[in-house]
Every structure is written in C-alpha cells, then in structure tokens.
Structure 1
Amino acid sequence: MSAPATHLPVASYRASFRYLGAQLPGRAAPIAVVVLAGVITAVAGLAGPWVIGGLVDELRADPAADAVWRGALIVAVAGIILGLGTWIGRAALARVTEPAVSRLREDVMSRALELDSGTVERTGTGDLVSRVADDSRKISESTEQILPLFLQSVFVVVISGVGLAALDWRLGLVGLVAVPMYYLTIAWYLPRAEPIYRAERAAFGRRAGRLLSSLTGRDTLRAYRKQQVELDRIHSASTEARDLSIGVFKFLTSAISRNNRAEAVVLSCIIVAGFALVWFDETTAGAVTTAALVYHRLFNPIGAIVGLFDEMLSAGASLTRMVGVIQAAENTESPAHGSAEQGRGAATDADAALALGSVEFTYPASGDEADAHEPVLHGVDLEVP
C-alpha cells in the first residue's frame, strides 16, 4: 500500500491551459481587438527609424528644413497612434483575462472548501493556503502587468522583422543571424527554467506551512518548550525559499547575458554589411541607418521576452498548482459521496452505536523528517450509544 500524498497534486500544463481555454468562448471580439491593436502599435513604432533613415538620404541631397518638420509630424502622429493602440489593446486584454482569472480564483476557493479534512491534514494547510493566496496573487499580477508587456513585445519583434526584410532583403538575411543565437538561448533556458520555478513555488508553500502551523500551535509549542525547534524549522524553510529565489535571479541574468551577446554580434554584422553595400552602391546610407535602428529597436522587446519568461513560467507554475486544487477536489468527490450513500443505506436503529477500542494516534511524518513521531494517544476505549 502506497503512502498517502504529503502535498496536493500539481496539474499538467495541458490540463491547466485546457481549463483556461474553457473560459474563453464568447470573447472572440476582444481577442481580435488585442491582435489588431498589437499590429497597429508595432507598425507605428517603426515610424521613428524610417523617418531618421529617410532624413539621412534627403538631407544629403537637399539640406532643407521641410524634411525635418515633416518627419517630426510623422513621428508625433505615430506616437499618438502608439499610445491609443496600447491603451485600447490593454483594455481589450483585460476583458479577456480578468474574468478568466476571477473564475479561477472562485473555483479554487470553492474547491478548497470541499477538500476533506484528512487530505488537508496530510498535505498541510500551508500548501493549500499558499495556492489560494500566494499563487492567486501571482496569477493576478502576471495578467495585469506581465502579459500585456509580453504580448506587446512579441508583436514588435514580428513586425520589426518583417520591416527589416522589406527594407532590404540582404540586410534582412544578415538579421537572420540572430535567429540561431536566440534559439540557442531559449533552448538552454527553457529546460532548466520549469523545474527551478516549480521548486521555488513549492518552497514558498513549505515556508507558509511552517509559519501557519507555528502560529496556530503556539500554545502547544510553549507548553512543551519547543519554540526554538519550530523557529529552526521556520528558518530552514525560509532559507530554502530565499536561496531558490537568488538562484532564479542568477539564472535569469545568465540568460540575459546570452541575449546581450547576440545583440552585439548581429548589430555589428548589420553595420559591416551595410557599409559594404553602400560602398558598392547597392543601397543607401539611409537604408542602412533604418535597418540598424530597426534592429536596435528590437533590443528591449527581445530582452523583455527573455526577461519576462521567468515571470510567465512562475505564473504558469502557480496556475498548475491552482488547477491541481480543483483536480484534487474532483478526485475525492465521487468516492466520498459513494461511501456516504452506502453508509446511509446499511444503517439501522439497532446498530447506530459507536464503539472504539485500543485507539492510537500518531502524527504523520512531515516532508523533512525521516520517521513519524511517537504515538500521542494509545489504549483509548470509547463507546457512544
């Protein structure tokens, strides 16, 4: 017979996204607005590089102030479009995500209240509370702050890549040098990231469990003079959570440094290739300037995508933990109801008595203890007519 679970289950990503997908029907209109606003704002963001590149060629041929004023007007209009598009896109995204997150919180809370007490006792209240409170907060913060910036960065990268290729296909080919370099960064990052973030969220749950159990059992700890023992356990759980968080930050900075290396290499290649094309009159200095500025414009979005991956993965880990609460309640719902029905069907007035003989009770071993505690009750007989 296998030992009982000492933690609540964690749902798979497929099951978690399937749950979220069930919340999306009926929201096609705001999703379309999000995509359209993202494309428009990404195109408007290209106005600056195109205007500056055009000025380089125009001012060399005819150093008149009209071109400067015209370029300034174009940039100003593009800035207005960019601001309005960002506001509209975020408002539409909120209409998609906020109801789904609200429904997730409600389902997790209602399912958490349906869990039987035995399951909560075995897994510890800290794990459950951290999922309902800490993980819920993480999901809310990600949908409000991280997801809009992440989607906006994706749109900018895609549209800027298309714009770079449309400017000059040869400079576009040089820009493709970035693809394998970024791919190697993501291939190095993703396999290592998921277990790190899951371990971090689990450590936060263990820390919350230690704190909650100490607060609720403070009188018992004082009676048995075990305050220092419990303080040491809290310190150990907090140290583990802190060390994992520091490790996550170091891991992220290593990924960002790989991105910086790719940025420096590819921008240098574009400048060198552009110099050669201008030297042989294959393109203009303005086109090369625009290409360099377009690629330079990708630094922040690509850095944001990689930099925000840790937040997205951390939110994903929180999502799997919250959906795991829903699955735990669903898995225990049917057997519990079935046994209750059987009990009601077999009970009669003649045998409606409770008799307990030689009862023993032992606290189950926690995750960081090899053996269970000594029995705290033994030899108890009780009969209730």
Structure 2
Amino acid sequence: MKQRLGVAPPAYDPSAPENVTTLPVGSPATVRSYVRELLRRHRKAFAVLMAVNAVAVIASMAGPQILGTLVNDLSEGERDLHLGRAVALFAVALAIQSVFVWQVRLRGSMLGERMLADLREDFLVRSVGLPPSVLERAGTGDLLSRITTDIDRLAEAMRQAVPQLSIGVVWAGLLLSAMAVTAPPLALSVLIALPVLLIGCRWYFRRAPHAYRAEAAGYAAVAAALAETVDAGGTVEAHRLGDRRVALSERRISEWTAWERYTLWLRTIIFPTINITNLLVLGSVVLLGGVFVLQGWIGVGELTTGALLAQMLIDPIGLILRWYDELQVAQVSLARLVGVREIEPDAGDGELSPDGRDVRAARVRFGYHPDVDVLHGVTLQVPPGTRVALVGPSGAGKSTLGRLLAGIYGPRKGEVTLGGTALAAMPAEEVRRHVALVNQEHHVFVGTLRDNLLLARTDATDAELWAALGGVDADTWARELSTGLDSEIGSGGLVVTPAQAQQIALARLVLADPHTLVLDEATSLLDPRAARHLERSLAQVLEGRTVVAIAHRLHTAHDADVIAVVEDGRISELGSHDALVAADGPYAALWRSWHG
C-alpha cells in the first residue's frame, strides 16, 4: 500500500479494517440521541457548571475593564486615578475568579466522571444483554477493542472534552459580548480572522471523522488478528500457518499505522491554522484599533480593554478547537460503543412463552453466510424427558443443530419450537429459563467459588451449592479447599484445572434447573474414565429432563433413548442404539470403528 504521506489517505482496500467490524457502529442519529440522554440525566450538574463558569469569566474581565478605565483617565489628563480602589477591586475580582475557576475544574471533573461511569455501565449492561448469536458471530477482537481502546479514548473526552468544550463556548461568547459592549468596532475586527478559521476547520473536519473511524477499525482488526492467532496457537503450529498469520498481522498493522500517520498529518495542518487565527485576532484588533483611535471613533482606554479581551479570546478559541478535535476521536469511539444499542433483540414478542416441554425442529435450514446452508431441511422431534444424542463426523452440523435447539440461532427457513412456541419469537430471558446450552468452553470468574455458583441462582443456599457440586463429582476437591465455598478462584486466586472449570459450569447448570439441556461435548476436557463416571452421576441429576447431547464419544450415544446421525447437514439415521447397529448403516460403522 503505497502513498505519499500527507497528500492522500491510504488507498481503499475491500479487505481493509473498515469492513472487519462485525458489531455495528452507531449512526449519527443514535450518537446524538445518546448524548442528549446523557445531558438530560446530568442537566442540573451541567447547568451549575455553566453558571459557575459564567461567573468566573465575568470576574476575569474585571482586570481589562479596570486597566482600560485607568488608561482612559490618563489620556484625558486625570490626576486622581484612585489606584487604591482599583487595586482593591482587582484583588476582589481575582479572588472571585480563583474560587470559581476552582469550582469549574472540580464540577467539570465530577460531571465528566459521572458521565463516563454512566457510559461504561450502559455499555456493559447492553453488551451482557446482547443476543448470544450476535456475540458468537462477533468474535473477540472487535468487542475487546471496544471494551478497552474505545473506553480509554472516551475517558479523556468524558472527563475533559465535554466540560471544557462547554466552558470554552461560554467563555468565548461572554468575551465577544464584552467586546461588543466596550468597543463595538473592535468586535467587528475580530471577524477578519474568521474566514481563515472556517476554511481550515472545514478542510480538517471533512477528512478527520472518516480517518479516525478507519484508525479505530484498524486497531480492531489488529486485535482480532492477534487474538485469533494466540487462541488458535496449536492449530497454527500444527498446520504450519505461522508465516501466513504473521503476514496477516503485519498487513493489518501496516494498514492501521498508515491511518495513524494520516491523522497525525491532518493535525499538522489544523494546529498552524489555529496559531495563524490567534495572531490575526490580536493583530487585527491592535492595528484596526489604532486606526479607530486616530479617527476618534474609540478612546485609548477602549482600545486597551478591547486588546486585552482579544488576547483573552485566544484561550477559549484554542480550547474549543483542541477539545473539538479530541471529540472527533471520541465520537468514533462513542459511535462504536453505542452501536450495540442498534442491535435488535432476537425475540419479537415479550409475552410469548412455551406451552409444554416438547422440542421440535421442522424443515430447518440454516447457514452462517447468506445462501450457504449448513443444515438442509432438518426435522427432529424431542419429546419431554427424552435423551437424544447427535452423532456424526466433524463438520456435519451437529453443534449448529444443537445451537438452534437451544435458541442461540434462529433458522433461515423452517421453525424450531418449544412447547409449540417458536424459540426465535420468545424473549432471550424466557428461552434461558427453559433451555440451557453447555458447550466445550467454560469460564471461571474472578471471585469465590460461591460467587461463581450463585451466578446460576442467586438465592441458592450453601446446602444446595454443595449438592450441585456433588452432582457433578466436584465436591471432593472443593471440600479440600482451605476456605471451602469462600475460596478465591480464577485470576489472582486458585487456578482451577480445565476439568474443574468444566465441573463448575455443570454445577451451575444443575442450580439453574432448566427442563431442557443441550450438551455440546460438555465433558470433553475430562479423561474418558472420569467423563464416563461424571456422565453417570449427571444422569441421576438430570433424570426426567430433556437432554440433547452432542458427542464424539459414542458411549454417550449408547446411553441415549434416541440417536440422530447427522451427515452433511441432514439427519441420515434416527433410532435407538440397538436398532441402528442392527440396521448396519452409518451409525453401525461409527460404532465399530470407535468400539474396535
């Protein structure tokens, strides 16, 4: 990707970072709506900040006014200047200004921290509530970059940019008003610098938002590439994909750094423009003010006051442009964070609930990409209390079918129902009350063993927690912990083994007490003998529940009531273990190859 830095942005590439994001980026309307919502929440604190800032600015204008009056008196030949009174007034104004400037900084910081806390909480709550299908498809890189990089970028904006920009606008408005009252011709002379400022800002802000979006998306692409490589390190090494993954990471990094350099170049244009504007403001006031004095249109004192106010005007203009530039970066991060608000929940009707416990898939078609189906017209009936095993070769669609039966995905065609009600039409919380999915990936949260278990049911007693651990053969090692249920586990505490993490996840399942379970290789991290023992223990706990088990270990299928053989996205065989072995079809071949 060749470019002359400073002349044009990096060339567009269809595979470039901007198209890597899988979670949506908030539209301008969504961003404006959220900003208005934040301001409504904190309108009282915002109004107090503006009032305190106005007092501080008015107090700061006392000095130029006092000095201008003294100069005017001297020019008119006054001998009694009342310097003592002028010094006293200046001291009082300075004291008032100092107190209120301190209040401005304090209240601005407090307001920024409160808005930042609201933003973090809103994003966390919304992210946790996202449909599972969205989270599964999003991957880790984009979501991780939003939680870390975008929050970090917004932190400074929320703490400083929003309060400071508001302060700068009030400050500049009051100074211009004071100039218009003190010396109207001088206020007009400030407009000489306006075209330079407008042209420079228009040039910059037409390019900056797109560049900052590409820069943020580029970082997300880098994070995604690196996270995927690390997570799949064993696969990368086994298939000798190291060079290819390194090349991909380097390409993503080069694309990201190219946009970084481009945004830096944009700043090298806007900052000198601001400096030229500042010089023009002060220069025009002094030069034109001198002409006005010679013409007798204003007095020397008015020129002095106007020049001092013009000098003071440089600070708020710089403040506004500086923090507005910061807000360009923040706006991109904010759009990425509030973009999750545009994701519609899977459920369409919050009142729907199942009328029964039977699970049924009827002529289901589903694919992860448009027009590319993984499942082709699958039909399956699972009566209440039935144990169904899904078996078949890797990539046949077993896990995909399991996720549809668990309500994680909705079918492209056909229907998956629970008790006669389509899972796709039920609220996610309602689905989770009845159906639970336990897959091969388990997470142990930082905290105590009790906290990890109470995630499934917050009102569970210690006796129920121990019973759940006993149901999954985890009570033995749990009772050996120094403080039992109060033992700290996870990062910073006791590091549990993958098998123990799997047992904790299964204990949560026991506590959640759903009537239908989808187990996707739920015991895969245990050795075969321990897995067999655990499954026998779970069979007692899960007695009477509907269980759909996805397994490569065929002893799980042997114990099931019904076995469904999935091949190429279709159910090729359906029946009991004995019936399928006797039929001498695909399942019989699998059983012979596995059983020896």
Q: TM-score range by the shorter chain?
A: 0.7 to 0.9
For the residues of structure 2 that align with 1:32 and 1:207, how far apart are their CA atoms? 42
Q: Choose the corresponding residue for 2:102, options 87, 93, 105.
A: 87
1:305 paired with 2:305, answer: no
Counterpart of 2:222 in structure 1 is 207
1:46 paired with 2:61, answer: yes
* Structure whose CA Rg is larger: 2
Q: Choose the corresponding residue for 1:248, options 263, 266, 269.
A: 263
Which letter does structure 1 place at the counterpart of 2:346?
Answer: E
Which letter does structure 2 place at the counterpart of 1:276?
Answer: V
Match of 2:395, SS?
strand
Unaligned runs of 5+ in 1: 363-377
Which letter does structure 2 place at the counterpart of 1:139?
Answer: L
Structure-1-length-normalised TM-score: 0.81
Match of 2:346, SS?
helix
Check the 8 A contact 1:256/1:306 in 2, yes or no.
Answer: no
Counterpart of 1:141 in structure 2 is 156
1:25 Cα offset (Å):
4.3
For the residues of structure 2 that align with 1:187 and 1:262, how far apart are their CA atoms? 14
For the residues of structure 1 that align with 2:151 and 2:355, how far apart are their CA atoms? 37
Counterpart of 2:383 in structure 1 is 349
1:291 paired with 2:302, answer: no
1:191 Cα offset (Å):
2.3
Q: Is the alpha carbon distance of 1:6 and 1:194 closer, same or farther for their aligned partners in structure 2, counting shifts above 3 Å?
A: closer
For the residues of structure 1 that align with 2:174 and 2:30, how far apart are their CA atoms? 32
Q: Is the alpha carbon distance of 1:197 and 1:151 closer, same or farther for their aligned partners in structure 2, counting shifts above 3 Å?
A: same
Match of 2:276, SS?
helix
Which letter does structure 2 place at the counterpart of 1:333?
Answer: D
Once the two structures are superposed, residues 272-311 of structure 1 have per-residue CA deviations (whole angstroms, 9 ceiling, x without a partner) of: 2211222133322221122122112222221221222221
Once the two structures are superposed, residues 62-116 of structure 1 have per-residue CA deviations (whole angstroms, 9 ceiling, x without a partner) of: 577852x554444443333223223323444455443343232123223323445
What are the residue-to-residue correspondences of 1:362-381 with 2, within 5 Å?
none
Which letter does structure 1 place at the counterpart of 2:61?
Answer: L
For the residues of structure 1 that align with 2:192 and 2:575, how far apart are their CA atoms? 80
What are the residue-to-residue correspondences of 1:258-277 with 2, within 5 Å?
258-277=273-292
Q: Is the alpha carbon distance of 1:48 and 1:336 closer, same or farther for their aligned partners in structure 2, counting shifts above 3 Å?
A: same
For the residues of structure 1 that align with 2:346 and 2:318, how far apart are their CA atoms? 45
For the residues of structure 2 that align with 1:118 and 1:226, how far apart are their CA atoms? 28
For the residues of structure 1 that align with 2:341 and 2:60, how far apart are their CA atoms? 43
Check the 8 A contact 2:111/2:159 in 1, yes or no.
Answer: no
For the residues of structure 2 that align with 1:111 and 1:52, how far apart are their CA atoms? 56
Which letter does structure 1 place at the counterpart of 2:383?
Answer: D
Counterpart of 2:169 in structure 1 is 154
Q: Choose the corresponding residue for 1:257, options 260, 269, 272.
A: 272
If asked which structure has higher relative contact order (CA below 8 Å, sep 6+), I would say: 1
Which letter does structure 2 place at the counterpart of 1:12?
Answer: S
Which letter does structure 2 place at the counterpart of 1:29?
Answer: K
Unaligned runs of 5+ in 2: 1-18, 361-381, 398-566, 577-596
1:191 paired with 2:206, answer: yes
1:57 paired with 2:72, answer: yes
Counterpart of 2:44 in structure 1 is 29
1:161 Cα offset (Å):
0.6
Q: Is the alpha carbon distance of 1:355 and 1:177 closer, same or farther for their aligned partners in structure 2, counting shifts above 3 Å?
A: same
Check the 8 A contact 1:111/1:325 in 2, yes or no.
Answer: yes
* Pairs aligned (count): 364
Counterpart of 1:315 in structure 2 is 330
Check the 8 A contact 1:252/1:307 in 2, yes or no.
Answer: no
1:258 Cα offset (Å):
2.3
Check the 8 A contact 1:357/1:382 in 2, yes or no.
Answer: no
Match of 1:101, SS?
helix
The percentage of aligned residue pairs carrying the same residue is 26
Q: Is the alpha carbon distance of 1:313 and 1:232 closer, same or farther for their aligned partners in structure 2, counting shifts above 3 Å?
A: same
Counterpart of 1:333 in structure 2 is 346
1:357 Cα offset (Å):
5.7
Match of 1:225, SS?
coil
Once the two structures are superposed, residues 309-353 of structure 1 have per-residue CA deviations (whole angstroms, 9 ceiling, x without a partner) of: 22112111111111112332xx14316999995995654428863
1:8 paired with 2:23, answer: yes
Q: Is the alpha carbon distance of 1:230 and 1:73 closer, same or farther for their aligned partners in structure 2, counting shifts above 3 Å?
A: farther
CA RMSD of aligned residues (A): 3.4
For the residues of structure 2 that align with 1:86 and 1:384, how far apart are their CA atoms? 79
Match of 1:353, SS?
strand
Counterpart of 1:132 in structure 2 is 147
Which letter does structure 2 place at the counterpart of 1:270?
Answer: V
Check the 8 A contact 1:211/1:234 in 2, yes or no.
Answer: yes
Once the two structures are superposed, residues 194-253 of structure 1 have per-residue CA deviations (whole angstroms, 9 ceiling, x without a partner) of: 211211211121122223223322233233333333233223323322222222122123
